[in-house]
Amino acid sequence: MGQDKTNGKIRMTTPLVEMDGDEMTRIIWAKIKEILIEPFVELKTEYYDLGLKRRDETDDQITIDSAEATKKYGVAVKCATITPNAQRVEEYKLKKMWRSPNGTIRAILDGTVFRAPILVDCVKPMVRSWNKPITIARHAYGDVYKATEFEVGKPGKVELVYTTADGNEARELVQEFKAPGVAMGMHNTDASISSFARSCFNYALSTKQSLWFSTKDTILKKYDGRFKEIFQGIFEKEYKEKFDKAGIEYFYTLIDDAVARVVRSEGGFIWACKNYDGDVMSDMVATAFGSLAMMTSVLVSPDGYFEYEAAHGTVTRHYYKHLEGEETSTNAMATIFAWTGALRKRGELDGIPELIAFADKLEKASIDTIESGVMTKDLFAIADMPGKKAVNTVEFLNAIAEKL
Ligand code: NAP
Ligand code: MG
């Protein structure tokens, strides 16, 4: 045991890829490290500053480098970052409207995003039976997000035409229009669906939770049918035994049946959704659990790389208040849990039980702090308990440190 410690702190062997970010979350980031991690862990990170200024200086190379480093080391922890729009280009005098860092990182790591709420007993889910978190796994490629749509102005025939590379042609009638309307074409690929499936199966194993998958294959027999088939094929070939051993299950059901089952469930599983379903259902599930500030997010690649972050953004409104010298009460929970998720995974991969135990303790201390009545303003507004007290961000972090 003594060998695993330096100055009484927990020693790490492999560095975490640390991706710093913007605005209020950048400030919270530094405070979490200073107050909650560095006093206990001999923190080893390879630091990448994904703050907008640095992305602009490096022509966004820093984002690419940080994703490549994640492939090298396996685990990253990311602070929320600004996705520039026209107003940000002006505000930061940017050379270009750089792409979303999350999009860039996802394109390099090719992953699926898993979102799960952090539960505290004083914030009751709107659905009474939910007492464990529900994790949504959203496919992040294709379907309506990469569709071609158009308006049909006059009567006419809309067809889908598929021309193979060697010149063969197949046509399907979409609709014979007698009057104006709308039409669209969309797609997905076996490769993307397969990597989505593997990410889901890997994540289910790594968190020891059962996996549900739902589509509408009774209507889209070929399109959604392909999703169902690919999941089933990969499961039977590569994962069935591992699932049996872990005591978890995989099952497929129709999306409407899934919705009914989710609402009647007590939680504690992963719900894999196609791109649009995941977009809609994750907002519903997050809101029903209480607060966006309590939602964690992890990108899992089919090759087994992990990138942890908070689901929320850089909390710009609070940052502007902070800049004006006003005290802010921004909830640090999701960012703390990004750190604990990454440290725990590093501990598992490197065989450092003390690091895993530390991640567990930090999460427990954070939840205990809220459950003892000390919380940031967002939770204060919705918490159902007597004697609750609203504190600012640093007071909140210090209260957690005391419990640690
Ligand atoms: P946001 O940062 O998530 O904040 C929206 C609102 O939600 C806040 O104004 C605040 O409400 C509440 N909120 C979110 N997180 C909170 C927390 N930790 N504690 C307390 N309240 C919290 O979304 P946004 O304002 O739309 O976006 C700001 C920037 O973040 C944008 O530049 C966007 O590009 C970026 N963004 C980044 C990511 C990412 O890196 N993953 C994700 C989303 C957005 P009140 O104002 O009512 O207190
Ligand atoms: Mg959405």
| Ligand 1 geometric centre to CA of 213 (Å) | 29
Q: Which ligand is closest in space to the CA of residue 138?
A: 2
**241-245, 254-258, 295-299: lowest mean pLDDT where?**
295-299
Tokens of 19: 């991706």
Closest residue to atom 37 of ligand 1, CA basis: 313
Q: Which residue has the higher pLDDT, 3 or 135?
A: 135
Q: How many whole angstroms separate alpha carbon 74 and alpha carbon 383? A: 37
| Ligand 1 geometric centre to CA of 102 (Å) | 15
Looking at the structure of the chain, the number of domains it has is 3
Q: What is the mean pLDDT of residues 86-98?
A: 96
| Ligand 2 geometric centre to CA of 252 (Å) | 24
Q: Which ligand is closest in space to the CA of residue 106?
A: 1
Asked whether the predicted pLDDT for residue 59 surpasses 80, the reply is: yes
Strand duo 181-185 + 148-152: pairing: antiparallel
Q: How many whole angstroms separate alpha carbon 167 and alpha carbon 161? A: 12
Find the radius of gyration of the CA atoms of the chain.
23
Is the Cβ atom of 158 under 6 angstroms away from ligand 1? no
pLDDT tens digit sequence for 206-240:
899 999 999 999 999 999 999 999 999 999 999 99
Q: Which ligand is closest in space to the CA of residue 311?
A: 1
Q: What is the 3-state secondary structure (H, E, C) of the chain?
A: CHHHEECCEEECCCCEEEEECCHHHHHHHHHHHHHHHCCCEECCEEEEECCHHHHHHCCCHHHHHHHHHHHHHCEEEECCCCCCCHHHHHHCCCCCCCCCHHHHHHHHHCCEEEEEECCCCCCCCCCCCCCCCEEEEECCCCHHHHCEEEEECCCEEEEEEEECCCCCEEEEEEEEECCCEEEEECCCCHHHHHHHHHHHHHHHHHHCCCEEEEECCCCCCCHHHHHHHHHHHHHHHHHHHHHHHHCCCEEEEEHHHHHHHHHHCCCCEEEEECHHHHHHHHHHHHHHHCCHHHEEEEEECCCCCEEEEECCCCCHHHHHHHHCCCCCCCCCHHHHHHHHHHHHHHHHHHCCHHHHHHHHHHHHHHHHHHHCCEECHHHHCCCCCCCCEECCHHHHHHHHHHHC
Specify the amino acid at residue 169.
Answer: E
| Ligand 1 geometric centre to CA of 312 (Å) | 5
Q: How many whole angstroms separate alpha carbon 359 and alpha carbon 364? A: 9
Residues 11 and 90 in one domain: yes
Residues 382 and 403 in one domain: yes
Q: Which residue has the higher pLDDT, 8 or 20?
A: 20
Residues 347 and 260 in one domain: no
pLDDT tens digit sequence for 128-149:
999 999 999 999 888 988 889 9
Question: What integer pLDDT is reported at residue 5 of this predicted model?
Answer: 52
Q: How many whole angstroms separate alpha carbon 20 and alpha carbon 263? A: 37
The domain in which residue 143 lies consists of: 124-147+186-289
**7-16, 65-74, 81-90, 136-145: lowest mean pLDDT where?**
136-145
Question: What integer pLDDT is reported at residue 6 of this predicted model?
Answer: 65
Mutate which of 292, 327, 379, 382 to test ligand 1's pocket (most atoms within 8 Å of Cβ)? 292
Domain ends where: 136, 163, 185? 185
Nearest Cα to Cα of residue 267 among 367, 385, 119, 114: 119
Closest residue to atom 24 of ligand 1, CA basis: 313
Residues 67 and 88 in one domain: yes
Per-residue pLDDT band at 37 (split at 50, 70, 90): very high
Q: How many whole angstroms separate alpha carbon 227 and alpha carbon 249? A: 18
Residues 383 and 396 in one domain: yes
Q: How many CB atoms lie within 10 A of CB 147?
A: 11
Asked whether the predicted pLDDT for residue 177 surpasses 60, the reply is: yes
Neighbours of ion ligand 2 (CB under 5 A): 279
pTM, rounded to two decimals: 0.88
Question: What integer pLDDT is reported at residue 206 of this predicted model?
Answer: 87
Residue 110 phi/psi, 5-degree rounding, is 55, 70
Residues 128 and 242 in one domain: yes
Question: What integer pLDDT is reported at residue 379 of this predicted model?
Answer: 94
Q: How many whole angstroms separate alpha carbon 26 and alpha carbon 368? A: 25
Residues 370 and 330 in one domain: yes
Closest residue to atom 23 of ligand 1, CA basis: 313
Q: Which ligand is closest in space to the CA of residue 32?
A: 1
Atom of ligand 1 nearest to the CA of 315: 2
Residue 141 backbone zone (phi > 0: left; psi -120 to 50: alpha; other: beta): beta
Q: How many CB atoms lie within 10 A of CB 53?
A: 12
Q: Considering all CA atoms of the chain, what is the largest pairwise distance in Å, rounded to the nearest integer?
A: 80
Residues 135 and 282 in one domain: yes
Is the Cβ atom of 80 under 6 angstroms away from ligand 1? yes
Residues 95 and 21 in one domain: yes
| Helices 190-207 + 223-234 axis angle, to 10 | 50
Residues 20 and 34 in one domain: yes
Q: Which ligand is closest in space to the CA of residue 275?
A: 2
| Ligand 1 geometric centre to CA of 85 (Å) | 15
| Ligand 1 geometric centre to CA of 153 (Å) | 40
Is the Cβ atom of 392 under 6 angstroms away from ligand 1? no
Residues 243 and 135 in one domain: yes
Asked whether the predicted pLDDT for residue 3 surpasses 70, the reply is: no
Q: What is the CATH number of the domain that holds 211?
A: 3.40.718.10
Q: Which ligand is closest in space to the CA of residue 308?
A: 1
pLDDT over 90 percentage in the chain: 87
Domain ends where: 289, 312, 345? 289
Q: How many whole angstroms separate alpha carbon 387 and alpha carbon 384? A: 10
Residues 45 and 180 in one domain: no
pLDDT over 70 percentage in the chain: 99
Question: What integer pLDDT is reported at residue 252 of this predicted model?
Answer: 98
Mutate which of 32, 312, 329, 375 to test ligand 1's pocket (most atoms within 8 Å of Cβ)? 312
Question: What integer pLDDT is reported at residue 192 of this predicted model?
Answer: 92
**2-11, 37-46, 84-93, 277-286: lowest mean pLDDT where?**
2-11
Mutate which of 81, 106, 294, 315 to test ligand 1's pocket (most atoms within 8 Å of Cβ)? 315
Question: What integer pLDDT is reported at residue 2 of this predicted model?
Answer: 43
Cβ contact 388:120 at 8 Å:
no
Domain ends where: 289, 316, 334? 289
* Average pLDDT along the chain: 94
Question: What integer pLDDT is reported at residue 1 of this predicted model?
Answer: 45
Atom of ligand 1 nearest to the CA of 331: 19
Q: How many whole angstroms separate alpha carbon 378 and alpha carbon 330? A: 8
Question: What integer pLDDT is reported at residue 142 of this predicted model?
Answer: 87
Is the Cβ atom of 287 under 6 angstroms away from ligand 1? no
**Burial environment of residue 254 by CB neighbours within 10 A (0 to 12, 13 to 18, 19 or more):** middle
Q: How many whole angstroms separate alpha carbon 298 and alpha carbon 306? A: 7
